[in-house]
Amino acid sequence: MTGDLRENRDFWRVLADLGETAGLLWQKGWAEANAGNLSRDVTDIVPAAGAPGGAAATPFGARFPELAGRRLLVTAAGSRMRDLAREPDAGCGVLQCTDDGTGYHVAWRAEPAVPFTPTSELPSHLAIHATLCRRRSPCGALVHAHPMELLALSHDSGLAAEGRLGRALRAMHPEMAVAVPGGLAVVPYVLPGTVAQGVAAGAAMEAHDVALWVKHGAVAAGRDFAEAFDLLDTVNAAARMLLLCRSAGYEPEGLSDAALEELWRSQGRSAAG
């Protein structure tokens, strides 16, 4: 096991950030029952640890060489956001990735005598963290949840294509160009919790910081949990505006192509990018 983290102030700041974000997800209604999961690369603040008692590593089911030797804070399988908001350390653990990037052992958990099982969505978290390492992204925190309005739009087969949905959301909410300049990736439905979903999620985040998993949920990457939550909140606000207009009985006009181009130029980008 890694050293005693009770005196590690940076680590407890991360846990506090996780707890606050978990509470927001619960309040938003984006994490029903034990839905949703979070992770953060804590390699820079948690020391490396050897395998406890020489135990064999738990295999990832795939190889992620970018994660070799890294430490990841992840939420536990079955953990509820409302509980994490009150006591974040009780529902989290730190995984020490093996030197070949093929597995992990549990480097830290709040109760050493209690076994720790990471979230069932671990393959997606691993794949995205590997992608972020490959991109040399400053983002190390991932938030996966079920933003209701965005998820509802993913059931519209005529809109769910990446280009169409991204364009529709940008047209609804100018803040999208500011907060989510890379746009939204759209990942076709894949069985949740599988390595296949992880591979799809990792590929989607090669050029994006936010991805919609069709008919499942969404994930965002930020420098901390609060920033990742803000990205989901912004995208879902645009989705909610679109649904409100539709529920009022009309298709919204949205921003014109010219207005979007002007907005994106103001951010140093091109609307075609």
197 contacts 125 by C-beta, under 8 angstroms? no
Radius of gyration of the chain (CA): 19
Distance between CA atoms of 3 and 1, rounded to whole angstroms? 7
The Cα-based distances of 175 to 17, 92, 230 in angstroms read 24, 33, 11
Helix count and strand count (H, E) for the chain: 9, 9
Determine the straight-line distance between the first and last CA of the chain, rounded to whole angstroms. Answer: 46
103, two tokens: 């597995």
Active site residue 121: yes
Nearest to 71 by CA among 6, 24, 3, 25: 3
146 contacts 35 by C-beta, under 8 angstroms? yes
Catalytic residue among 121, 175, 227, 253: 121
The Cα-based distances of 167 to 19, 179, 232, 260 in angstroms read 33, 15, 16, 9
* Catalytic residue list: 121
